[in-house]
Amino acid sequence: MRAIWKKIHTKTFLASFIVVAIVGTVLAIGGCAMARKLSAADILSKTKVEFHELTLDSVSVNPDIMKQLGGAIVGGLLPNPNVVAFVQNIAKGIIQIDVGNAYLGIVLDVTNATQDTLWLRDFSANVNLDSLMELPLQLKDSTRLAPGINKVQLSTSFPIDNRIFKLKEITGLNAKGILVVALEQEGESVPFDFNIRHNIPHEELVALEDSLRQSVLNSILSDWVGAIQF
C-alpha cells in the first residue's frame, strides 16, 4: 500500500512540477513581452512629431486634355477658342474640366529623445487643409527612427479643380494619425498616436497656388505645341 501511495505522490508531484514550470514559462514570456511594451511606451513618451515642410512634388495633367478642349487648329499656329477660354479661365481661377492631379510632399520631423532605435513598421494618417480638403497620407518608404531627429517623408495627392484657387485662404494644416513602431526589426509592434497642427505663412500658400497654376498652363502649352501640324 505504501508503494502505491508513493507512486501516486510521485506522479502528483511531477504533474504539479510540470504545471508550475509551464505557468512559470508563460509568465516569463508574458513578463518579457510586457517589459518590451513598457520599454517601447517609455521611448514613445519621449518621441515628438513636428511639421517640417510642405512641397509641390509634381503635377499630372490628363493626357487627353487637348481632346477635351477640341485640340489645336490643324495646320494653324493658333489654338482653338476652347483652349484660349480654358487659359483665360485658369487666370480667373475657374476650372470646368477634369485637368489632372497635384502631388504634395510632406516632411515630418520625428524626434527620438532616447538612445534606442525604433523601427517604423506602419503608418496611417490624414492631413486636413482647414476645411478645404482632407487627404490621406502615404509613407514614401519604411525607415528607422534613430536617436535624434528623423525626417519622415510622406506623400498625398488631390484633383486639380477650383479648390486649388482657395489654397491661399487656408491658415494651415492638421496631421493626425498613428505611427506603428517596434524596438527591434522583427519585434512586437507598438502604436503611437499623433495630432499636430502647423500654421503655414500666407506667402507660402500663394507661392504653392501660383506654382500649381503655372504647372498646368505649361503642360497645356506643351500639349498645344505638340498638336500643331506645320
pLDDT in tens, 120-175: 888 889 999 988 999 999 887 767 888 899 998 899 999 999 998 899 899 989 99
- Report helix angle 202-227 to 81-92, nearest 10: 170
Residue 78: predicted pLDDT: 60
- The helix or strand, by DSSP H or E, that contains position 190, with its residue range, turns out to be strand 190-199
Residue 33 has pLDDT above 50, yes or no: yes
Residue 22, pLDDT score? 45
| pLDDT computed for residue 19 by the predictor | 44
What letter does residue 138 receive in the DSSP assignment? Answer: E
pLDDT higher than 80, residue 221: no
State the pLDDT at residue 98: 86
The cell for 168 is 491661399
